[in-house]
Each structure stands twice: as structure tokens, then as C-alpha cells.
């Protein structure tokens, strides 16, 4: 059974939501809270009424030179609101929409490439499975060899092989493996020709009372992705071990 993984559509939705928060919600909040609604005049207009001296001078035709105005010094609140002034002119709805639209285009293009790449990997990857063959037996035990099938289109490299036995069909949901029976055996497994499996060097000496043989194959495909093929087989009805038994996790693969 193929393990479920997060689909690209879910990652795409997460990326769009993050872009919406960064490129739309944050700029709008920034503009509402940190940008002045009206620009302050640098040279304030003197709206005070004229003094009596200025009125009399105007009647007599005298020229009065105005005092040089002081540069406007904003108070603390104005300094707070004017601090991001270099950003405020660009925080327009059209600019925000253009930035978010560009981000969406880049995101769609990237996810399209990843989707095509994932489809290619799924079609061309190696796909290993196990079969068992009883090679010999004695009055108390038998030797069972592990064979590996590659139903994919490209080669695979095995990393770890595991095989052990038990007397009855497992009932627990997930398998528990004895690490002593795990072997690190790197080997190349090419695609099976006419359904002919590769003969592995792993042989299990199992008691005759143990009819259930289980284990796993860890391998890497040509794309560098790691996979695991688990198996749990009942040998009581045939030498080749056709009967797959146990809960789904015992025969899981990815």
C-alpha cells in the first residue's frame, strides 16, 4: 500500500496564503498604522492676525521684511507617523496587487515544474518487491532465500535487507523487527526481465514450525529517493510464498 504524502496542492495553498499575508495584509496594515494620512507642510503658514504696527506700516506705505520662518519641527507623534516615509508613497492598491500577482505567477510556475518532476519520478522509478524460495530443509529447520523483483523502469540500489520468521499470522497493527536480523547489503537491482527476480545473498534458517516469514527491503532509486518495501508471507501453502498475510502495515511500501 502506497504511503500517503502531502500533495503539492496543499503546499501550493500554504504558499499562496503566506504570500497573501506578506504582500497584501502586512502592507495594508503598515499603511493604515504607520503612514500619515496627510503630508505635513515643511513651511507652516502663519495665520496669525497682523499687529497694530504692521497695520500702521501698511497705511504709511512702509515696507516690513518678514522674519525668516523656522523649519517646522514635528512633534513625537509626527515623527512616529513619518518614520517610514520612504515606503508610504509605494503602498498603493495597484502596486500591492501587482506585487502579489507577480508572486502568484512565480509560485504557479514553480509548482508546475515540481508536479512534472514528481510525475516523472513516479513513472520512471524502481519498484522493488520480495519473494521467498525454500532451498533446503532438515528435520528441524529449512533454509529460505530472499529474492528481489524490480517492477520499475530503472535500477535500484539496496541498502538494508531484513528477514525473520514467526509461527502464526501477526495481529498487531505495526511490525516490530529484530535488529539482529538486519543486514546492510548494497547491491544493484536492475528491472526484472520476464519477471525474473534477483537472487539476494540473504538466507534465513527458520524452524519448520515457523510458517510466516516477514521483513523489509530498504533501497534508493536513480533519483536519490529512499524507499522501503515490506513483506509478510505465509509459506505454508507453497514453496514460493504466494500468500500475503497480516495487517496492511506489514506489507506496506512507498
Alpha carbon distance 36, 154 (integer Å): 63
In this structure, the answer to whether residues 140 and 217 fall within a common structural domain is yes
| Within-domain flag for 1 | no
Domain boundary (100, 124, 148) is at 124
- Closest to 210 (Cα-Cα) out of 181, 234, 239, 237: 234
pTM of full prediction above 0.75: no
Mean pLDDT score, 8-29 = 84
User: Residue 85 is placed in which grid cell?
Assistant: 516615509
At residue 168, φ and ψ (nearest 5 deg) are -135, 165
When pLDDT is cut at 50, 70 and 90, the band that residue 57 belongs to is low
Residue numbers of the domain that contains 109:
8-40+49-124
Are 71 and 84 found together in one domain?
yes
Encode pLDDT of 96-112 as tens digits: 888 888 888 898 888 88
Is the Cα torsion angle 88, 90, 96, 97 positive or negative in sign?
positive
Out of 124, 144, 179, a domain closes at 124
> In this structure, is residue 20 part of a structural domain?
yes
213 in the same domain as 141: yes
Single out the residue in 92, 108, 124 at which a domain terminates.
124
In a domain, 2, yes or no: no
Tell me what the mean pLDDT of segment 7-17 comes to. 82
Kindly state whether residues 97 and 172 are assigned to the same domain: no
Task: Identify the residue with better confidence: 28 or 74.
Answer: 28
**How far is the C-alpha of 186 from the C-alpha of 173, rounded, in Å?**
29
Claim to verify: residue 155 and residue 168 sit in the same structural domain: yes
Establish if 180 belongs to a structural domain: yes
Residues 135 and 169 in one domain: yes
State the average pLDDT over residues 175-194.
90
The domain tally of the chain equals 2
Query: Do both 152 and 234 map to the same domain?
Result: yes
- List, as one string, the DSSP characters of the chain: -BPP---HHHHHHHHHHHHHIIIIIHHHHHHHHHS-SSPPPSS----PPPPHHHHHHHHHT---PPPPPPPP---HHHHHHHTTTTTGGG--HHHHHHHHHHHHHHHHHHHHHHHHHHHHHHHHS--EEEEEEEEEE-SSEEEEEEEEEE-SSS-EEEEEEEEEEESS---SSS----GGGEE---EEEPPPSTTPPEEEEEEEEEETT--EEEEEEEEEETTS-EEEEEEEEE-TT-TT--EE-S-GGGG-B-
**Residue 70 and residue 143 in one domain:** no
CA distances from 203 to 64, 135, 137, 168, 175 (A): 113, 9, 12, 20, 20
Residues 15 and 114 in one domain: yes
Given a cut of 70, is residue 166 above it in pLDDT?
A: yes
Q: How many residues does the chain have?
A: 254
Note whether residue 158 is domain-resident.
yes
Look at phi and psi of residue 74 and say left if phi exceeds 0, alpha if psi is from -120 to 50, else beta.
Answer: beta
pLDDT at 27 over 70: yes
pLDDT (0 to 100) of residue 76: 45
Q: Are residues 116 and 135 in the same domain?
A: no
Is there a single domain that holds both residue 142 and residue 245? yes
pLDDT tens for 63-99 read 555 555 555 555 544 544 444 566 676 677 778 888 8
- Domain-embedded: residue 214: yes
Percent of the chain whose predicted confidence (pLDDT) is above 70: 72
| pLDDT greater than 70 at residue 52 | no
Whether residue 172 sits in one domain with residue 98: no
pLDDT band at residue 10 under the 50/70/90 scheme: confident
Over 60: is that where the pLDDT of 41 sits? no
Amino acid at each position: 500500500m502506497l504511503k500517503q504524502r502531502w500533495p503539492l496542492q496543499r503546499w501550493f495553498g500554504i504558499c499562496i496564503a503566506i504570500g497573501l499575508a506578506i504582500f497584501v495584509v502586512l502592507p495594508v496594515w503598515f499603511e493604515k498604522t504607520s503612514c500619515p494620512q496627510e503630508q505635513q507642510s515643511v513651511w507652516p503658514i502663519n495665520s496669525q492676525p497682523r499687529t497694530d504696527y504692521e497695520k500702521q506700516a501698511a497705511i504709511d506705505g512702509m515696507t516690513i521684511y518678514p522674519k525668516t520662518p523656522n523649519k517646522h519641527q514635528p512633534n513625537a507623534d509626527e515623527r512616529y507617523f513619518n518614520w517610514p516615509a520612504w515606503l508610504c508613497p509605494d503602498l498603493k492598491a495597484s502596486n500591492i496587487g501587482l506585487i502579489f500577482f507577480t508572486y502568484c505567477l512565480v509560485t504557479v510556475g514553480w509548482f508546475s515544474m515540481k508536479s512534472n518532476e514528481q510525475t516523472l519520478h513516479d513513472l520512471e522509478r524502481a519498484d522493488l518487491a520480495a519473494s521467498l524460495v525454500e532451498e533446503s530443509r532438515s528435520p528441524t529447520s529449512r533454509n529460505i532465500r530472499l529474492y528481489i523483483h524490480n517492477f520499475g523502469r530503472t535500477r535500484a540500489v539496496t541498502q538494508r535487507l531484513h528477514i525473520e520468521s514467526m509461527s502464526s499470522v501477526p495481529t498487531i497493527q505495526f511490525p516490530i523487527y529484530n535488529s539482529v536480523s538486519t543486514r546492510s547489503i548494497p547491491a544493484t537491482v536492475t528491472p526484472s526481465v520476464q519477471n525474473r527476480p534477483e537472487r539476494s545473498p540473504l538466507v534465513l534458517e527458520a524452524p519448520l514450525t515457523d510458517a510466516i516469514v516477514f521483513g523489509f527491503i530498504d533501497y534508493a532509486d536513480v533519483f536519490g529517493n529512499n524507499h522501503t518495501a515490506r513483506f509478510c508471507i505465509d509459506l505454508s501453502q507453497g514453496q514460493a510464498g504466494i500468500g500475503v498475510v497480516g495487517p496492511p502495515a506489514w506489507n506496506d511500501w512507498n
